[in-house]
Chain A
């Protein structure tokens, strides 16, 4: 258990409304990630953070913004939700594995439906 929680776990919203998803970790890891998972696409990186106030874009960042004001919290915001953002969103953290790369551990996910 990597100590990752996501909130809310489920959310239904309407097109055009703002939505914020929260990822909280208890292990003080430096790297945090937001992915979305859709049928036929696998997991795709939206944004990631490599420290407090340090963030960068991933593969599918259009329509999303992120913020990290504390090590333990990474927020994903949809400024104006669209139906194409209906998806399951996963947060992940990196934990040094001792090899040449870090292993990512995932949270339980948030299912978002935009009507």
Chain B
């Protein structure tokens, strides 16, 4: 069964304290892995797409990496405005459309 597990469920960081969020997945072939950011009361906002093991993408203080079993979202020197829920999703190769399987997210709080 295709599934996505994110950890930790919640993470509290001091401003400037770097950390990583984990997304582990089991799928029958991976077409793509997606990271989204979601603020309270809003829709998910696209951050990155990763396609193959070893790939990395960066945007400001965020860097996403991918292996054959998991992805990490590294947050370097976070600021309070980075507080949000971060969602991971995978697109199995067995699907003939762009359907996604989502994890339940990691709720990040960054304190000044």
Contacts and interface: CB of A to CB of B under 8 A. Distances in A.
A84 interface: no
B51 A101 contact: yes
Interface in A88-109: 90, 94, 97, 99-109
A15 B72 CA distance: 42
B41 to A, nearest CB: 8
B87 A109 contact: no
Interface string A36-70: 00001111110010100000101000000000000
A44 B103 CA distance: 10
Contacts of A45: 99-100
B71 interface: no
Interface of A: 4, 31, 33, 40-45, 48, 50, 56, 58, 90, 94, 97, 99-109
6 contacts: A31-B97, A41-B104, A56-B97, A90-B43, A99-B49, A104-B100
